[in-house]
Structure 1
Amino acid sequence: MGLLRFIKSNISNILFVLFAGIMFFSADARTLLIKGLMSTGLYNADAPSKDLKISKSVPSDLTFRSEDGELLKLGENKGEVYFINFWATWCPPCRAEMPSINSLYSKIKNKDKVNFIMVDVDNKIASSVKFMKKHSYQLKVYSSESAIPEHIFSGTLPTTVIVGPKGDIVFQHSGMADYDNAEMLNFLNALSR
């Protein structure tokens, strides 16, 4: 009788402890919670205005290796746009924003001029490719083959950088965001003209 009374009087505390335990131990549960928060619109990535002045450029020797072994040196591909996302499979905010990035990618008109580079910061390409396939994402996984300057990636996950056709950084965001919006789509399509 005493245990039943204790449970009834502390049900909200018990539920809170259960919820906190699930959130602490389950990356999938945290990802689901974060996706729910993102769906409110609070985390939309706003495309920069046309008047944005960027002073930092990407080093010409910045190099990535794709999941199939191809090297991509950004300095050799002027005129192209790069949507670069630094992420990891263990990072719930990274996992939460991935559907929006995949959806944005599927809507890009000039796919031959806009490259999506999903950089696995742990360089565990096999597990990242498995993650992408498991979730039916069309995004290609890359690893870094050169040093990443701190003005591009300082270690915060996720971080997204968009490099314009002249090799300048035209967008940078640290932390999770919902990229699947008309403003970002129009921005990328305009850059790739």
Structure 2
Amino acid sequence: MPRHKKIAVFFILLLATGLIGMNVYENQQKKKQEAQEQRQTTTLEKTAIDSTEEDKERASDFTLKTTSGETIRLSDYRGKKVILNFWATWCPPCKAEMPHMQAFHEKHKNDVEIIAVNLTSLDNGNDALKKFIEDYRLTFTIPLDQEGTIGNRYKAYTIPTSYVIDEEGYIQHKVIGPMNEEMMENMITSNG
């Protein structure tokens, strides 16, 4: 076989080997990404649902003014389950969560109190907040964390962050990320 044909065959084999290798590499990367996404989903679900007796701690009390100017204390809601939520108007996952939270509130307002603390010190001002509340037709309690101290105390570094608090004031669940109505239902009906 002439030398130029040998070189051509060599390059064709090299190219074919490279294409096969790239295909195998891409498939491995895709599988790794799918596995990582599954682990993240499982971790989020576990964070949202799991809690053990030794993990339980009493929710730290606070006093804040609401959007209507009323002063509330978290401890005033003892005897009732509470979903304590931290959010801001510019946060896309918070926007996705709000219709679920409002629907849950409408169904359970006699049994479960939603306290959605706006991280006012990190937000876009009163006009943005007022428009957000109107756009989403929110009717649950919205206190304003003007200094950022309550968000820091509850480690709401990623938002939304929510806590489910039982009737005695103990934290039953912590959720980092948006919740849907089904998640809220499950956490409220579980015993920790």
Question: What TM-score comes out, normalization by structure 1 length?
Answer: 0.61
What is the correspondence of 1:104-119 to structure 2 with a 5 Å cutoff?
A: 104-108=104-108, 111-119=109-117
Evaluate the alpha carbon distance shift between residue 120 and residue 100 of structure 1 in structure 2; reply closer, same or farther with a 3 A threshold. same
How many residue pairs end up in the alignment? 145
Instruction: Choose which of 166, 169, 176 in structure 2 pairs with 1:167.
Output: 169
1:59-106 CA-partner distances (Å, limit 9, x unpaired):
23x122211111111224321221111111111111111111112212
1:145, distance to aligned residue in structure 2 (A): 6.9
Detail structure 1 runs of 4+ shifted over 4 Å in the superposition.
41-47
Report the identity percentage: 25
1:1-193 correspondence to structure 2 within 5 Å: 48=49, 52-53=52-53, 54-60=55-61, 62-108=62-108, 111-123=109-121, 124-144=125-145, 147-148=149-150, 150=152, 152-177=154-179, 179-181=180-182, 184-185=184-185, 187-188=187-188
Give unmatched runs, 5+ long, in structure 1: 1-40
Give 1 or 2: higher helix fraction. 2
CA distance in 1, matches of 2:142, 2:116: 5
TM superposition shift of 1:160: 0.9
Q: Aligned Cα RMSD in Å? A: 3.1
1:130 is displaced (CA, Å) by: 2.1
8 Å Cα contact 1:118/1:141 also seen in 2: yes
Deviation at 1:57, TM superposition (A): 1.5
Which protein shows a greater Rg?
2
Q: TM-score, normalised by structure 2?
A: 0.62
Q: Could you tell me whether the CA contact under 8 Å between 2:151 and 2:157 is conserved in 1?
A: no
| Letter paired with 1:71 | T
